[in-house]
Structure 1
Amino acid sequence: MDLEELKSTYPGLLRKYLFEGKEEEALYRAYKLGKECFEAKIGIEDIMNLHTRALEEILKSAPPSGVHDIVLRSSNLLIEFSIRFGLVCQNYFEMLQQADERIRNAFYKAGEALNAGLDIQRMLPVILDIVKNLIDADGCGIMLLEEDRTIIKASEGLDTENEFIKKFLLKVTTDGKMDLVYDLKEKKYPVHLKDGREIRSVIALPLGLKGKIRGALGIYFTYPHHYEEKEINLLVSFAYQAVSAIDNAYLFKELSRHDRTIKALYEIDRVISKSLDLEEILESALTKVLEVTETDIGGVYLLEENGETLSLKVHRGISPELTAVFSTIKVGQGMSGMAVKSGKPVTLDFTKYPGPEMLALLIKEGIVSGVSVPLIAKEKVSGVIALASKRYRSFSRDDLDLLASIGSQIGVAIENSRLFRELELHDKMLDTLYTIENVVSRSLNLEEIFNVALSKVLEVTDAQAGTLYSLDGDILRLEAFKGLSPEFKEKAMIRKMGEGVPGIAAQSKKAIAMDVSQFPSSLLLPYVMEEGLVSFIGTPLMSKGKVVGALSLGTKKKRAFTQDDLDLLFSIGNVIGIAVENARLYRESVENLQKLQKAYDELQILNQMKDEFISNVSHELKTPLVSIKGYAELLHDEKIGSLLEIQKKSLEAVLRNADRLIQLIDSILFISKLQAGKVEFHFEPVDLDEIIRACVSDFKSMLDKKHISFEKAVPEISRVVGREINI
């Protein structure tokens, strides 16, 4: 048997004892291993280290709820192993063989003490009492190092604040070596108990395991005491047992802390995820953080939009006076401002608080320690949570890590709330714009649009008064007003660009906001104050990038208009502006239509007059033509006298042209009827050759007179269908 073989055998033996229900078999095997270890001269330190490593491997896969039981049962096995089967060096083994019943009982009591629980605060007094009785000491003490502070537990009236005792134990802890003083009187170190007795002899042993020193065990006598090797070996062995139990307690404490951390994060996440309302999130988060950190004073600051100021939103446990002073702080100012600036948790002893003017108030409140943790989401700081205590409290690295995780949780919840609020505002904006657009689009009457739009805007913005102007050149004309006196209306009928709230909004082409102290019109200020208006907001009415008017609103309660309010009102101004421009275009279209209708009616009258004129002229022309044709026919028919042949031919030409002239007059009447849509066409076969011969004959006298020879060279053309008179 050697140490490497023991390393491969012992973990399986421990698992058999803990989980397979074979305790007796495991104990018997332990007995054999113990004997083999003794023969191989394997020391108790190696066995303790091996046991601790095997236990750590088992605990890695063990559920948190079973850790306590596993540690206790493994301690039982180790104690039984060491006491019953000689897992000690040869000197210690011989000492146990010769020890009286009192020492044996003391070791059993030690086992019971170490199995009593994993609470370090309960474990230490029991260990001290057992050690004191084990060697008939007058008393003892234990110093443990926990991060940046020490814990000393003592019995029999030892003054734990005695500088010698503290330095003596700290030296042994630092050096990692045992130290003793046979007689303090010889060293001239007088140390007295509370009852007046003097400590004469002390011994201290380091509590170390796996190369790590946890602290020191100190024992004292009120008389000079000679420490025998056997006694020292006994104390060394017990110190190993004690530090093993203490290490297990710390391990259990770490697991418990991790469990509490997970539970705390879960509880806070459960609380803050119930709502998207920012105020409710902050109230619930602060309440839960104070609960899980066992702190009674705290507050949550949020970073304002300017990125320079922190505002206290919720708080617990501080006076109104302190609340007033700490209601707003600058980034970098105080503990909370430092946390925001650095993006890391900051913890301070308040005696070193960076703001002297605030320190006096903190001292008055009795606050002595605190911590501030930034609230972070997407690598961006949105605020800080500050915790404080009226008792000294050192926040460990574990505490800060937990608070940093909580800060990230709350930061994410705040970011989610902000996004939800933006969605709500966006939804509200769309709903408001839809409502106003729906109202103003029902009419194309400008007067109605102005009045209805102003009433609806006052309703959705919760304002108490308002004016609405249209733009005419460079002049704003009052079209509608609500919540203001007739005297105000009389004074505000006309505004120039840049004058008053609407004039400034129209000139700048953007939404503006101001309070009564900044009201730009001294003429109208008395009327505004008479109505009790204190806050104002205005916007231009825009259409296609052009200003068509302006809108201004007033409230009777002081109101800090946000950028969201300005954006919403500007969008409302665009909706109303488009409606106004559409109504104006409609009015212009109606006016143009009326002008066109009037021109059309006038044309109709002129056309009727033309038809009457053509009818009259045609009648007046046709009457003498009928007479001319009648007399020409009498002459041609020789009813008045005989005619020469040439005369007869001339009269035929006269008759043809008279007919032609009558046909032309009929054509003019035909065109008039055609335009009026009163013509019905009647077509019949027509001989084109006959029409051509007649035309040539009509012009023959004129051609002969001018000695022009005209011959028809057109081939014979078929008959066509048409109206001969029109051809």
Structure 2
Amino acid sequence: MNPEELKETYTTLLNAYLFGGDDEAALYKAYEFSRESIQERVGLEEIAAVHIDGIGKLINKVPFNEIPLIISKSSIFLLEFIMNFSLLYKEYFELWEKTGSQLHEAIKQTGDALTACLDLDETLKIISSLMQKTTGSDSILIYLLKNSHLKQVHTDNIVIETLPKEAATHSTLAWDAISDATIKISITPEDMKKYPAPRIKNGIKPSSALAIPLIGKNMVIGAIECYYEIPHALIGVDNNTLLNLASSAARSIENIYRLKGTNEHKNMLTPDEAASRCKVARRIILGEGVEGYHLPNKICKGLKGLIEHLDSIKDEDVRWVVRWIEYLGDTELAVQIKAHPEEFKEIISNRYEQLKKFVL
């Protein structure tokens, strides 16, 4: 249906309704024509335009004092005409909500399944497959955080020889996602130039990418980078859904670490490693060599001092606490709090318990 056909038919039907004398028959024809218009993918803005044009032409043949009545009556015709559009949009949004609910439930179920898997390699495969399907990406690169460095542990559909060197991982999109505890998107050519990116399996250089942090309950696990052959914007899944999925994935890896005893303890380290770890821990726990956190009537030295006054810290002060913790050098703790600010007291307490064995 071309614009002229739409305008001519609509105006004819409107004229029949306003001046034909058989309102019911005219409205029924309008209803039928609206169904045809929907099938022809006519937009509401086009209907509004032809209605205004049609009523403008038709009121020229009526006395001036009858124009308000004609315009009022024409609005009934317009409402009847767009009734089908209203029903269509309602069905569309109901379907969208149902689809979104199904997607969220599927992600939740998959997340639950992830936590039941205790093999790291298999878990990484599941995470990679799920993220690839959820984000619609062409390739996946998973990093795990090891001693403040990102280590590439799993790839899918990536040319291995083109992977960023591990020495450069602090300049990756994944590292920025971890640092800000949020999803990072690189979609323009200028954005893509900022970060090292591997080539997709067919040798194509990706045109866009996104990075999702993996933040568990008690530790920062790493991040996932998703690459696309063409510029891509996330559609059909929101950031919170992806972050929740990534959180489930992170907790599954966290469980594997815990159950397999891979969490480091000072008696598992070499003497040099233990000494280095103790020095860092004393800085964070006791605040040695650094400025304390200032409360109204108290200066807290390290996490030990902060723990004693956690109840004095208000929710609006959390961002300042995060900056101070970054200043201490505990990036991992800062990221955890950024990801779950409402749980900052519990997160700080857990971190204190983790590190105090290297100091006290």
Q: TM-score range by the shorter chain?
A: 0.5 to 0.7
Name the CA shift for 1:342/1:234 in 2 (closer, same or farther; >3 Å): same
> Would you say 1:263 and 2:69 are equivalent positions?
no
In structure 2, what is the equivalent of residue 404 of structure 1? 243
Match of 2:255 among 416, 420, 423: 416
Q: Which protein has the bigger helix share? A: 2
Match of 1:339 among 141, 164, 177: 177
For 2:51 and 2:197, how far apart are their aligned partners in 1?
45
Name the CA shift for 1:401/1:224 in 2 (closer, same or farther; >3 Å): same
Give 1:231 shift.
5.3
In structure 1, what is the equivalent of residue 31 of structure 2? 107
For 1:312 and 1:368, how far apart are their aligned partners in 2?
21
Identical columns (%): 16
The letter for the 1-side match of 2:260 is R
In structure 1, what is the equivalent of residue 43 of structure 2? 141
For 1:234 and 1:316, how far apart are their aligned partners in 2?
57
Name the CA shift for 1:268/1:95 in 2 (closer, same or farther; >3 Å): farther
SS in 1 for 2:43: strand
Name the CA shift for 1:311/1:284 in 2 (closer, same or farther; >3 Å): same
The letter for the 2-side match of 1:339 is A
TM-score by length of 2: 0.54
Post-superposition Cα deviations, 1:228-279, rounded to whole Å, max 9, x if no partner, equal: 5465642343235423531442243123202211112212432x23421212
In structure 1, what is the equivalent of residue 230 of structure 2? 391
Match of 2:96 among 223, 237, 253: 253
> Would you say 1:129 and 2:53 are equivalent positions?
no
For 2:103 and 2:247, how far apart are their aligned partners in 1?
17
Give 1:335 shift.
1.9
CA root-mean-square deviation: 4.2
For 1:219 and 1:312, how far apart are their aligned partners in 2?
59
* Equivalent pair of 1:335/1:371 in contact (CA under 8 Å): yes
In structure 1, what is the equivalent of residue 142 of structure 2? 300
Match of 2:154 among 299, 304, 314: 314
* Equivalent pair of 1:303/1:383 in contact (CA under 8 Å): yes
Match of 2:122 among 273, 280, 293: 280
For 1:220 and 1:94, how far apart are their aligned partners in 2?
13
The letter for the 2-side match of 1:304 is K
For 2:227 and 2:167, how far apart are their aligned partners in 1?
17
The letter for the 2-side match of 1:340 is I
Alignment of structure 1 residues 231-630 onto 2, 5 Å:
233-270=76-113, 272-305=114-147, 307=148, 309-322=149-162, 324-325=163-164, 329-331=168-170, 333-353=171-191, 355-356=193-194, 358=196, 365-378=204-217, 380-395=219-234, 398-422=237-261, 510=271
The letter for the 2-side match of 1:265 is K
* Equivalent pair of 2:17/2:77 in contact (CA under 8 Å): no
SS in 2 for 1:358: coil
Give 1:320 shift.
3.0
SS in 2 for 1:387: strand
Give 1:313 shift.
1.0
For 1:358 and 1:335, how far apart are their aligned partners in 2?
8
* Equivalent pair of 2:257/2:263 in contact (CA under 8 Å): no
* Equivalent pair of 1:335/1:353 in contact (CA under 8 Å): no
* Equivalent pair of 1:296/1:389 in contact (CA under 8 Å): yes
* Equivalent pair of 2:30/2:81 in contact (CA under 8 Å): no
Give 1:301 shift.
0.8
Give 1:420 shift.
1.6
Gaps of 5+ in 1: 1-91, 114-124, 131-139, 143-168, 170-202, 206-217, 430-508, 513-727
For 1:268 and 1:255, how far apart are their aligned partners in 2?
20
For 1:281 and 1:99, how far apart are their aligned partners in 2?
67
Post-superposition Cα deviations, 1:636-660, rounded to whole Å, max 9, x if no partner, equal: xxxxxxxxxxxxxxxxxxxxxxxxx
Give 1:127 shift.
1.4
Give 1:410 shift.
0.6
SS in 2 for 1:325: coil
Give 1:511 shift.
7.8
SS in 2 for 1:263: helix
For 1:328 and 1:97, how far apart are their aligned partners in 2?
82
* Equivalent pair of 1:376/1:382 in contact (CA under 8 Å): yes
Post-superposition Cα deviations, 1:487-541, rounded to whole Å, max 9, x if no partner, equal: xxxxxxxxxxxxxxxxxxxxxx9589xxxxxxxxxxxxxxxxxxxxxxxxxxxxx
* Equivalent pair of 1:268/1:288 in contact (CA under 8 Å): no
Q: Which protein has the bigger strand share? A: 1
For 1:95 and 1:245, how far apart are their aligned partners in 2?
30
Name the CA shift for 1:390/1:423 in 2 (closer, same or farther; >3 Å): closer
For 1:257 and 1:275, how far apart are their aligned partners in 2?
26
Name the CA shift for 1:294/1:259 in 2 (closer, same or farther; >3 Å): same
SS in 1 for 2:182: coil
Q: Aligned residue pairs: how many?
A: 241
Give 1:365 shift.
2.3
For 2:17 and 2:26, how far apart are their aligned partners in 1?
17
Post-superposition Cα deviations, 1:639-694, rounded to whole Å, max 9, x if no partner, equal: xxxxxxxxxxxxxxxxxxxxxxxxxxxxxxxxxxxxxxxxxxxxxxxxxxxxxxxx
* Equivalent pair of 2:27/2:80 in contact (CA under 8 Å): no
In structure 1, what is the equivalent of residue 57 of structure 2? 226
Name the CA shift for 1:386/1:356 in 2 (closer, same or farther; >3 Å): closer
SS in 2 for 1:104: helix
* Equivalent pair of 1:301/1:385 in contact (CA under 8 Å): yes
Give 1:348 shift.
2.5
Post-superposition Cα deviations, 1:25-55, rounded to whole Å, max 9, x if no partner, equal: xxxxxxxxxxxxxxxxxxxxxxxxxxxxxxx
Give 1:221 shift.
12
Name the CA shift for 1:367/1:106 in 2 (closer, same or farther; >3 Å): farther
* Equivalent pair of 1:350/1:370 in contact (CA under 8 Å): no
Higher Rg of the two aligned structures: 1
* Equivalent pair of 1:311/1:328 in contact (CA under 8 Å): no
* Equivalent pair of 1:277/1:417 in contact (CA under 8 Å): yes
Give 1:347 shift.
1.9
* Equivalent pair of 2:51/2:78 in contact (CA under 8 Å): no
SS in 2 for 1:313: strand
